[in-house]
Amino acid sequence: MILVFLGAPGCGKGTIAKIFEEKLNFCHISTGDLIRNAISSNKELGEMLKQIISNGNLVSDEIVLKLLNEKLKDCSSNLILDGFPRNLLQAQKLDEMIKIDKVVYIDTPYDIIKERLVGRRTCENCGKVYNLDIYNSNTCSCGGKLVQREDDTPHIIEKRFKVYEKETMPLVQYYQNQGKLLKVESNSSSNDTFKSILNMLEVK
C-alpha cells in the first residue's frame, strides 16, 4: 500500500509514520529528513539547503525529486511519503512516478500545531522525536542529547504555516478530486490517531 501523509507542520506526520514503520513494517520516507541528511553530508549543497529550511521556505522541486528518487530505490511495496508532495507540481510528478492508494490528511488546528512544534525535541544521535509536554528531559533513551530544530521558533513556525496554506493546502482538493483523500483529526494522542487511520484504511 502506498500512502501519502498530508498536513501542516507539526500535525504529527512523522510521529504517526514511525508507528506504521514499527508496527506494520512500512517504509517511511520524509523529504524533510532527506533534506536534513543532505545538509549534514554535503557541505556545498548543505549550506544552501540550510538557509532555505531555516527560513521556512520550500526547497526546489528539482532537488527534492532527486533526493526522493534515490531513496525510493530502498523501498518496496508498503510505503509512506511524509512531507511530499508539497505543491501541485510535485503531486503531478508523483502521479507520473507511482500509483498512490490513499492520501491521509491530518487536520490539526494552528494553536495545537504551534504548541507541539515549540515543544518538539529531537535526539542528535538516533533521531527519535519527543515533546517537552510529556518528556521533560534533555537526554534521549539512547543517551543522546535532545535538540530543538532550527525551524521550530515561533516566527518560523508561522512562516511555515503560511507556506503550507499557500502551496500545500490546494492538494487537499487535488486528492479529493481523485477520490483518494481520507481526513483524520489529530487532536487526540498519536496512538489514537494511528488507530483511526487504520480503521479508515480498513487494515486489520
> CA-to-CA distance for 112 and 20, rounded, in angstroms?
23
Choose one: 3-11, 19-27, 39-47, 91-99; the region binding ligand AP5 (CB under 6 A): 3-11
- 3-state secondary structure at position 19: helix
Of 135, 126, 152, 145, which Cα lies nearest the Cα of 10?
152
- Is there binding between residue 64 and ligand AP5 (CB under 6 A)? yes
* CB of 22 or CB of 178, closer to Mg ion: 22
Q: Which residue of 2, 6, 15, 171 would you call a contact of ligand AP5, by CB under 6 A?
A: 15
Chain-centre distance of CA 89, in angstroms? 18
Contact (Cβ atoms closer than 8 angstroms) between residue 32 and residue 164: no
36, 93, 120, 121: the active-site residue: 120
Residue nearest ligand AP5, Cβ-based: 32
- Is there binding between residue 10 and ligand AP5 (CB under 6 A)? yes
Would you give the DSSP letter of residue 166?
I
| Residues in region 18-57 near ligand AP5 by CB under 6 A | 30-32, 35, 52-53, 56-57
Between the alpha carbon of residue 167 and those of residues 133, 147, 173, the distances in Å are 30, 28, 12
Active site residue 120: yes
Supply the residues annotated as catalytic. 13, 86, 120, 149, 160
Residue ranges binding Mg ion (CB under 5 A): 14
